[in-house]
């Protein structure tokens, strides 16, 4: 499915900052940025990725911060505060 058709079905650009413990040095945290189109607020694609991470990768998850934004939005209408005339 194309990105446009996903966006028309209310998929939003989702960004997650994933902090995880380094396998060799568990006291150190590493950051990983994940970005994909996903459905808010349940985020099924992100959950699938995190399940894959926890079952297949060695770095234990510490925390996940999620942000999302709609890419296709209605146009905004603003009233003019001033009207100027040029000669």
**Spatial CA neighbour of 68 closest among 16, 14, 7:** 14
User: Which domain covers residue 32, as residue numbers?
Assistant: 3-69
Domain count, the chain: 1
Q: Is residue 13 part of a domain?
A: yes
* pTM to 2 decimal places: 0.78
Q: Is residue 34 part of a domain?
A: yes
* CA–CA gap between residue 73 and residue 8 (Å, rounded): 10
CA angle 66, 62, 41 (to 5 degrees): 25
Q: Is residue 65 part of a domain?
A: yes
Residue 35 has pLDDT above 90, yes or no: yes
Pairing status of strand 11-21 against strand 61-69: antiparallel
Mean pLDDT of the chain: 90
Q: Comparing 14-18, 60-64, 65-69, 77-81, which segment has the lowest mean pLDDT? A: 77-81
Q: Is residue 10 part of a domain?
A: yes
Q: Is residue 80 part of a domain?
A: no
Q: Is residue 84 part of a domain?
A: no
């Amino acid at each position: 499915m194309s990105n446009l058709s996903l966006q028309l079905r209310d998929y939003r650009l989702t960004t997650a900052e994933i902090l995880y413990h380094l396998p060799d040095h568990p006291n150190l945290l590493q950051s990983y940025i994940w970005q994909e189109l996903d459905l808010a607020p349940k985020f099924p694609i992100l959950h699938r990725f995190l399940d894959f991470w926890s079952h297949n990768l060695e770095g234990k998850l510490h925390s996940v911060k999620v942000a999302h934004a709609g890419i296709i939005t209605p146009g905004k209408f603003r009233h003019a505060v001033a009207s100027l005339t040029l000669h």
